[in-house]
Structure 1
Amino acid sequence: MRVREAMSSQVLVVGPEHTLRQAARMMSERRVGSAVVVDPESHGIGIMTERDVLNAIGAGLDCDVERTSAHLTWDVVYAGPDWTLEEAAASMVRGGFRHLVVLADAEVLGVISVRDIVRVWAGQRAAASR
């Protein structure tokens, strides 16, 4: 199976000036574990995850003051839509990531998470055992 078949195409995009609370609220409302951060004046595309928010809170930072731009990963590892799920999983393991932004021709197509991969693999195993 390919990444395009398992990824979520409903991508939450936030700006670098959103506060952590705003980003966390949007992530919670949409029930997603990451947000793509687009900064046209800077690095381009970054990703902020629930772990980034958790680390900021754990460090005692004020989520109403802290901006997403200070708590995200700019060194994003991108997946291609034609990658296999095995390639995406291997990339996640190598980098210690739980989410990969899916890009094609510099356009964000979606995000694939460990949860997406496990969901597909578990469904395939269940179907095979029937």
Structure 2
Amino acid sequence: MLVRDAMSSVVLTIGPAHTLRHAARLMSGRRIGAAVVLDPDTCGVGILTERDILNALGSGQNPDHETAHAHVTTDVVFAGPEWTLDQAASAMVRGGFRHLVVLDGTEVIGIISVRDILRCWIRGGHTKEVRSSTAVPA
């Protein structure tokens, strides 16, 4: 299965001047964990994730004053629509992140999350049995 088959083609895009509170409200309302940040001044594509917002709040920053621009990840790893889900999952593991922006050329056409990949693998019968020999205390 390919990234184009699993990605969400409805992408929340915000500008760099959005406050973290506004971004969080939009993400929460759509039940998503990331927004693509498009900066028309730099023609750059970045990503703002729930982790970015959590880190800002955890360090005491004000979500009504902090902007997406100050917290956006700009060294984004992009996926192509023709990537396999294995390639996307490998990129996520290597980079330590849970979302990939999907580009077709220079155009953002989607976003794919770990959850999207897992959902496809489970539906496709690619689940692996996990066995544990230790009990988890209650």
Aligned amino acid, residue 105 of structure 2: D
More helix, by proportion: 1
Aligned length, in residue pairs:
127
Alignment partners' CA distance in 2, 1:85 and 1:78:
13
Q: Give the C-alpha shift of residue 42 in structure 1.
A: 2.0
Aligned amino acid, residue 36 of structure 1: V
**Are the equivalent residues in 2 in contact too, given 1:27–1:33 (CA < 8 A)?**
yes
**Are the equivalent residues in 2 in contact too, given 1:43–1:74 (CA < 8 A)?**
no
Alignment partners' CA distance in 2, 1:82 and 1:118:
18
- What are the superposed Cα offsets for residues 41-78 of structure 1, whole Å, 9 maximum, x if unpaired? 12610000000000001001000000000111000000
Q: State the identity %.
A: 63
Partner residue, 1:45: 45
Aligned amino acid, residue 55 of structure 2: N
Query: Tell me, what secondary structure is at the counterpart of 2:26?
Result: helix
Map 1:6-85 to 2 at 5 A: 6-42=6-42, 44-85=44-85
Higher Cα Rg, which structure: 2
TM-score normalised according to structure 2 size: 0.89
Structure 1 segments (4+ residues) deviating >6 Å? none
TM-score normalised according to structure 1 size: 0.95
In structure 2, runs of 5+ residues without a counterpart are 127-138
- Note the aligned Cα RMSD (angstroms): 1.3
In structure 1, runs of 5+ residues without a counterpart are none
Alignment partners' CA distance in 1, 2:25 and 2:122:
30
